[in-house]
Amino acid sequence: YVYSEAAVYFVLGHDPLMMKLLNCFLGALTAGLVFLIARRLFGHPAGAFAGIAAAVFPSTFLWSLMSLKDTMFIFAAALLLWLITLLLITGRWLLIIPILAAFALVGGLRTYVQAMFTLLIPATVLLQSRVRLPRKWALSAVLLTGCWALLWVSGGVQWFGVPVDQVNRMRYCMA
């Protein structure tokens, strides 16, 4: 979040209103993503209801007026869920790259949620029924490897019992 704030201030000048506008924009995009997910899974009426509910949800509506990272996190999580939904429905392997990018964005904002998604994303691929079994295992293995690698780089592996000092030594060696 700090880097995006610095980029906005660098490009547009130091005006706190610009970050508020970015948060409002991300909140609106979040409502759109929630609509797309619900419409794809449950139909148009459910999508419309979910999109409206997401638009007036306090985290996307009120907190976007403050310079907090919650709006960006909720957007990143919704983007990740939408991309996973597309992957499960279409089975396109090229969606792995944007999924891992959204996964990295989630980890940059909340590492404990990234740790949770490390196990949930591959498990979701295994449990769904649209992709045949041999491809499920390969796709899950690729996603688990990519998620674990990004989780290790971000330091989120501490949530799985890896000592923090070992994580920090690895991160300092990579810098």
Mean pLDDT, consecutive 10-residue stretches, the chain (175 aa), reads 74 79 86 92 91 81 67 86 86 85 78 78 79 74 83 63 56 54
Q: What is the dihedral of CA 63, 64, 68, 72, to 10 degrees?
A: 120
Q: Which pLDDT score, from 0 to 100, does residue 48 have?
A: 94
| Tens of pLDDT, residues 153-173 | 776 555 555 555 655 555 555
Q: Which pLDDT score, from 0 to 100, does residue 139 have?
A: 84
Q: Which pLDDT score, from 0 to 100, does residue 111 have?
A: 72
